Amino acid sequence: MQDENIVALYWERNEAAIEETKNKYEHYLFKIAHNILLDFEDSQESVNDTYLAAWNSMPPHKPSILSTYLGKLTRRISIDIFRKKNRQKRRASEYALSLAELEDCVEGGGTPEEDMEVKLLADAINEFLKTLPKDARSLFIGRYYYLDSLKEVAEYCGMSESRAKSLLFRTRCNLKVYLEKEGFEL
Domain limits, CATH 1.10.10.10, in the chain: 97-181
> pTM above 0.95?
no
Separation in Å, CA 28 to CA 56, 70, 105, 141, 146: 20, 9, 28, 15, 10
Measured between alpha carbons, how far is 62 from 45 in angstroms, rounded to an integer? 24
CA angle centred on 148, ends 136 and 75, rounded to 5°: 110
3-state helix, strand, coil in the chain (%, to 5): 75, 0, 25
111 pLDDT band (50/70/90 cuts)? low
Tens digits of residue pLDDT in 63-98: 999 999 999 999 999 988 988 887 645 555 666 666
Residue 122 has pLDDT above 70, yes or no: yes
Residue 42 has pLDDT above 90, yes or no: yes
CB 102 within 8 A of CB 92: no
> Tell me, what's the pLDDT at 148?
87
Separation in Å, CA 60 to CA 11, 13, 73, 174, 178: 8, 12, 15, 39, 37
CA angle centred on 175, ends 137 and 87, rounded to 5°: 90
Residue 112 has pLDDT above 70, yes or no: no
Residue 43 has pLDDT above 80, yes or no: yes
> Where does 38-65 have alpha helices with state H?
40-57
| CATH number for the domain running over 3-85 | 1.10.1740.10
Domain limits, CATH 1.10.1740.10, in the chain: 3-85
Residue 107 has pLDDT above 80, yes or no: no
Measured between alpha carbons, how far is 165 from 149 in angstroms, rounded to an integer? 11
Residue 99 has pLDDT above 70, yes or no: no
Q: Domain 97-181: which topology? A: Arc Repressor Mutant, subunit A (1.10.10)
* Chain mean pLDDT for the chain: 87
Measured between alpha carbons, how far is 110 from 92 in angstroms, rounded to an integer? 24
Residue 177 has pLDDT above 60, yes or no: yes
The predicted model gives 37-45 an average pLDDT of: 93
Single-letter residue type at 164: A
106 pLDDT band (50/70/90 cuts)? low
